[in-house]
Amino acid sequence: MSEIAWLLIAFLSGSLPFSPLLGRLALGRDIRAYGDGNPGSTNVFRAGGRWAGVAALLLDGFKGAIPVGLAYWGDALRGPWLVAVALAPVLGHAFSPFLRGRGGKAVATTFGVWAGLTGPEAPIVLGCLLAAWFLALDNSGWALALTMLCFLGHLLNYRPDPALIGLWAGNAALLAWKYRADLGRAPRLRTERAARLLRRLGRAA
């Protein structure tokens, strides 16, 4: 398949608004009326609970993983075209034409794209880093930014492919734009939460 075809397929896949659709069809609710108004899986959790949220999270991840994984592993797409195709689902989710350009923040789709390229490796690394920074900081934008910065260190050490580094740069820039309001506020350490966690670990030991 041609590179242009993969690019269009990946963007279209990413732009499919699964979370709002799930909210409408399964919950009978507009998830954008909850939380921060974002049309993503986080507000499906708020509107419909755990299982609806997990379903939305998986759908938003798969729409990145499937086209990118097929292009990378099935069609051996590499180099600059791989960067473009792997960024396309993230851009599609963030600026979905089905939502008049007002898409979600693309975190789940980001995880999906990296899963399509590395299997479980990148999602596990990203997930552990994100959990640690969310425990440490009260600002989700800064937690995500520092997660991506640490993930760059992982890539440079274990997967120093220029295409993956290029993808990381584009992905990090897009996430920074979507979280620009959070990044405009200084983060604070969650000292009380960290102290509670350390006490629990101490008792468990």
Q: pLDDT digit string (tens) for 20-53? A: 888 888 787 787 877 777 777 888 888 777 888 8
| This prediction's pTM | 0.90
Distance, in Å, from the CA atom of 123 to the CA atom of 126, rounded to the nearest integer, reads 5
pLDDT tens, residue order, the chain (205 aa) = 899 999 999 999 999 999 888 888 878 778 787 777 777 788 888 877 788 889 989 999 999 999 999 999 999 999 999 999 999 999 999 999 999 998 999 999 999 999 999 999 999 999 999 999 998 999 999 999 999 999 999 999 999 999 999 999 999 999 999 999 999 999 888 877 666 665 665 665 5
DSSP letter string over 114-149? HHHHHTTHHHHHHHHHHHHHHHHBS-HHHHHHHHHH
Phi-psi region of 79 (alpha: psi -120 to 50; beta: other; left: phi over 0): left
Q: Which two tokens stand for residue 179?
A: 């979280």
Return the SS3 of 190: coil
The pLDDT assigned to 142 comes to 97
Distance, in Å, from the CA atom of 150 to the CA atom of 135, rounded to the nearest integer, reads 15
The pLDDT assigned to 193 comes to 63
The pLDDT assigned to 38 comes to 78
